[in-house]
Amino acid sequence: MDDRSWTTDETLWLADWRRRLAELYTHVRSVATTAGPESAWRAWRMEREELFRTHPSSPVPAAEREAVHARHWPYEPALRFEAVVVEDAEPEATGAATLRLPTSGATIPPMRRLGRATIPFPDRERTLSLFWLEEYAGGIFLPFRDATNGTATYGAGRYLLDTAKSADLGGDAVHRTLALDFNFAYHPSCAFDPRWACPLAPPENRLDRPIEAGERLD
């Protein structure tokens, strides 16, 4: 959110926005199971575009909403993973205590490192850290940066998961896995309007390759 005071109407619309996002991701997980991940991705794209264009709590400035058009790379099945979450071997030494990620604004939400996921990209494996939001009711957060930032995507990176705000593709707690599908990578609100304050990817989540999947700006 931004740091200004919100009216009652704005707050109610924001609650509706989050409700709609929760419904969208519930639908996405269901469609992924019954019709496959690519069908789920198509539904996600269409509904998000409609929300960004028409909803009063869209992060896009009101004057620009009518022109909103979803821009994504084509779906790439090789960039969907069921990743195992591994705890840090020595939490105290590696920073699993409360930490502060980089942010685009003055508000810095407290996080702790939840663990790490090794992603078997086609060229070689890479590791990303997962974080747990220490505010609200908590939530898993996975921001990342890659070699498309500053050209095809927002310079400060994109998000893959933010379960506190319902961006959740599913997982299996028994096997300690999370669905990480880079085709669902999306931009933080501050990519559309600098009045929004967004936590950003720390250096450890900067990938040394382009992720040509998910939402793009150009």
Domain boundaries, the chain: 8-205
Alpha-carbon separation of residue 197 from 16, 55, 59, 81 (angstroms): 20, 19, 11, 29
- Spatial distance between the Cα atoms of 52 and 61, rounded to a whole number of angstroms: 10
The two tokens of residue 109 are 């939400």
For position 153, what pLDDT does the model report? Answer: 97
Q: Is the alpha carbon torsion for 215, 145, 98, 11 positive or negative?
A: negative
pLDDT of residue 218: 81
Residue 32 CA to residue 204 CA, distance in Å, equals 30
Residues of the chain with pLDDT under 70: 1-4, 89-98, 102, 105-107
DSSP three-state, residue 162: strand
In this prediction, residue 109 carries a pLDDT of 78
Contact (CB, 8 A) for 59 and 52: yes
pLDDT of residue 55: 97
Given this model, what pLDDT does residue 101 score?
Answer: 79
Give the three-state DSSP class for 178: strand
- Coil, helix or strand at residue 155: coil
Over residues 135-153, the pLDDT tens digits come to 777 899 999 999 999 999 9
Specify the pLDDT at position 65. 95
pLDDT digits (tens, 9 = 90+) for 44-79: 999 999 999 999 999 999 999 999 998 999 999 999
